Structure 1
Amino acid sequence: MDLNTVAELLRPRGRQEIGLPRAGDAFLGGGTWLFSEPQRDLRRLIDLGALRWPALEAGPHGLTIAATCTVAELYAFEAPPSWRAAPLIGKCCRAFLASFKVWNTATVGGNLCLSLPAGPMISLCAALDGICVIWTVEGGERRMPAAEFARGPQDPALAPGEVLRAIEIPVEALTRRFAFRRASLTPLGRSGVLLIGTRAPDDDFGLTITAATRRPVPLRFDEVPTRDALQHAVTSIPLSLYYDDVHGLPDWRRHMSLLFAEEIRAELAEDAP
């Protein structure tokens, strides 16, 4: 779709060229959502692709994912064998249910910044204890958990002029065991419920509820919880926090979350092979 209100395109080659925010600014990553519907308030696009950030950087620290990394680039990543949670990357990429055209254009950062409940990159980064690296307007940077970055539909934790630079996934999270569950009302429909569980070698257990809720809901336990303890934690989530749209009613999303939570608990409670 043509954005006929945009009068200026900025392609900064360095951070200093971004400058101060103006009314009507929008940062451009892949643009798959930005160009999908009218954006009548936009006046200037700032193309982050011109900054040429490395898409992926892997090392002893873990994995750093640039905000401009495309879904296709992330899906093609070959992780070290010791990263037991690495197959979760492919599962979350496939949860897009999108064409290769979208995969080669849509960005990880764009998915987080749109902050829709069904965003699978939000699910991935929140479940693996990702840390969002954010450029501030003043020239510094701040960090926050990915689970707190997406506050609700189209409500990322960004002040005007701030830029999501990268997401850092710690190696500790990447070496965990994991279990993945996803449900949709139709075979090729948007995720209505997406739960990811992880278990560390010291038995630390995490369950992250996404798609079903307006924002990620992480639950952590020092060890694999009992069935009753986990069910209590899930039922304690207010019904008002569950998302309500054509892809699923809150009651159904809560029911499926309880069902998947127990399946994940049972799977991860088994002794590691």
Structure 2
Amino acid sequence: MDLNTVLEVRDARQRAPWRSGDAWLGGGTYLFSEPQPHLRRLLDLSRMGWEPLRRQPDGSLEIAATCTIAQLSRFARAHQDIPAAPLFEQCCRAFLASFKIWNMATVGGNLCNALPAGPMISLTAALDGSVLLQAQDGTRRRTRVTDFITGAGRKDLAEGELLRSVTLPARALAGRTAFRQASLYGLGRSGALVIGTLDPLDGSLAVTLTAATVRPFRFWFPAPPGAAELRDTIERTLADGDWFDDIHGLPAWRRHMALRLSEEIRRELAGEARR
């Protein structure tokens, strides 16, 4: 879609004072999908030269905000030595994306849209990821993905602040994972997406709910819980307003599917823990 209110597209490497009507341009798959009448200038990040994915000396993985879904998928297929690598591809495929989206949509854009069904939110929240944010004055801060997304379409991002990267810790990458997704339609948007991770060192289990909820919820247990404990923990934590409600699923259905998929994951990973 043409954005006929935009008067200028500036290379983001050319620093300029932030002003009302500015927006960061990553892949643009959301930005150009609907009218944006409040925008006057786009700051293009495509030439920043950020390495899409970089293994750190401590074994963690830094994913640049401009990393595309295609680049993330290729990395996962090339690094099958990483136990959590299959989860990368499962979340990439949760987009059900066209060729254009697959090759242009970015990890950072998906996080900053903060949509409940954002699969990059699901991936990075489940793997205990943290985002690096940079303000206009150059100062940086880091916050966990589960804290960065504060609601449906809402995130902890100040005016002019930039999401630079997301980092996944080495310990999370070494864990066993389980993935479940449900939709009202065969090729529809996720109505519930649940991911489980089993820590390889201490046997702790984390279950992360997304798509069914307005923001990601990550539940951590020092050991795989029983079915009743898992269900009670989820139901005690989530209020009625935490279940998402839109055309892709009513809250009651989303709650039912999230609880059902969580139990499936508990059984799968609890079996792994006993081996």
TM-score by length of 1: 0.96
* Contact persistence 1:18–1:46 (CA under 8 A): no
Please list, as runs of the form range in 1=range in 2, the aligned pairs for 1:57-72 lying within 5 A after superposition. Answer: 57-59=54-56, 60-72=58-70
Shift of 1:82: 4.2
**Could you say what secondary structure the match of 1:139 adopts?**
coil
Asked if residue 47 in structure 1 is aligned to residue 48 in structure 2, the reply is: no
Shift of 1:81: 4.5
Tell me, in whole angstroms, the C-alpha distance in 2 between the residues paired with 1:233 and 1:145. Answer: 21
Shift of 1:54: 0.7
The number of equivalent residue pairs is 270
- Alpha-carbon displacement from aligned partner over 1:81-139 (angstroms, at most 9, x marks no partner): 54211110000000000111110000000000000000000000000011101111221
Tell me, in whole angstroms, the C-alpha distance in 1 between the residues paired with 2:15 and 2:118. Answer: 27
Q: Please, which runs of 5 or more residues in structure 2 have no aligned partner? A: none
Tell me, in whole angstroms, the C-alpha distance in 2 between the residues paired with 1:19 and 1:256. Answer: 47
Structure 2 counterpart of 1:12, which letter?
A
**Could you say what secondary structure the match of 1:235 adopts?**
helix
* Contact persistence 1:82–1:175 (CA under 8 A): no
Change (3 A) 1:126 1:175: same
Structure 2 counterpart of 1:52, which letter?
G
* Contact persistence 2:116–2:153 (CA under 8 A): no
* Contact persistence 2:83–2:174 (CA under 8 A): yes
* Contact persistence 2:136–2:160 (CA under 8 A): yes
**Could you say what secondary structure the match of 1:188 adopts?**
coil
Aligned position for 1:28 = 25
Please list, as runs of the form range in 1=range in 2, the aligned pairs for 1:1-273 lying within 5 A after superposition. Answer: 1-13=1-13, 17-59=14-56, 60-77=58-75, 78=77, 80-201=79-200, 202-236=202-236, 237-271=238-272
**Could you say what secondary structure the match of 2:97 adopts?**
coil
Shift of 1:271: 3.3
Shift of 1:61: 2.6
* Contact persistence 1:75–1:89 (CA under 8 A): yes
Deviates further, 72-81 or 30-39: 72-81
* Contact persistence 2:117–2:210 (CA under 8 A): yes
TM-score by length of 2: 0.95
**Could you say what secondary structure the match of 1:9 adopts?**
strand
Shift of 1:176: 0.4
Shift of 1:204: 1.1
Tell me, in whole angstroms, the C-alpha distance in 2 between the residues paired with 1:40 and 1:261. Answer: 41
